[in-house]
Amino acid sequence: MPPAFALTLTAEEIEDAQMASYSMTFAGDQVGLIVRGKKSHSHEPGVMEQHADCILSNGAPVGFFGEGNGGRSNKSGMGMKGEVYDFAELSKKRAPYVDLHKAKTLGVVSTGLFVSVSNKQAKLFDDYWAALDKSPGAFNLLGGNCSTHASDAFIHAKILGGGIPGLDTPDHLYFQICKERKGKCTVLSGYFGFTALGAGYLIGIETV
């Protein structure tokens, strides 16, 4: 029998949910960090092999990216403007980050860190991203990158007490959260997919 949410999803989205090892929704008491390119809790990807996205308290994916050279990504990190990608933008520009089928086809493995928070912290976390979307500023590879802004969201929400130890990388932020929020985190690694569902999102993860 199809799952209870079948009437609101397409056939492909239902297949994604059934294929996933885990399917979950957020209820306003969790937020998340996703480290792209991180294959497991202990795996430490190279500096240029990782990217940080976040999950809002309704399960929506969001992240900070740099754009330059006529809208194309610029790996040098120079002369780039910052952009906040929501689900719609991620679907267009980073589809394997939100489409489980494409993530699996292209081998895009991520590790998600799901953090239990208070309702107040969840709102502050969401508010940070909403404000950044209105005024994203510049992207700088050192000190103004995806992990810097993910960190700022956790700090703004009073989930973390300070900035990333050492170089601003997604993996350093990941381990900082694990340490400072010990006992409040759940970790899953694999192929990630997001599907709009009601006022939030269904998160599907096929573990590897």
- Give per-residue pLDDT as tens, 111-135: 999 999 999 999 999 999 999 999 9
Burial (0-12, 13-18, 19+ Cβ within 10 Å), 4? exposed
User: Long-range contacts: 139-142, Cβ < 8 Å, 24+?
Assistant: 139/64, 139/65, 139/66, 139/67, 139/68, 139/77, 139/80, 139/81, 139/82, 139/83, 140/77, 140/80, 141/66, 141/76, 141/77, 141/78, 142/77, 142/167, 142/168
Domain boundaries, the chain: 6-207
Q: Is 28 helix (H, G, I), strand (E, B) or coil?
A: coil
Looking at residue 48, the DSSP 8-state letter turns out to be: G
Low-confidence ranges of the chain (pLDDT < 70): 1-20, 69-79
Q: pTM value?
A: 0.88
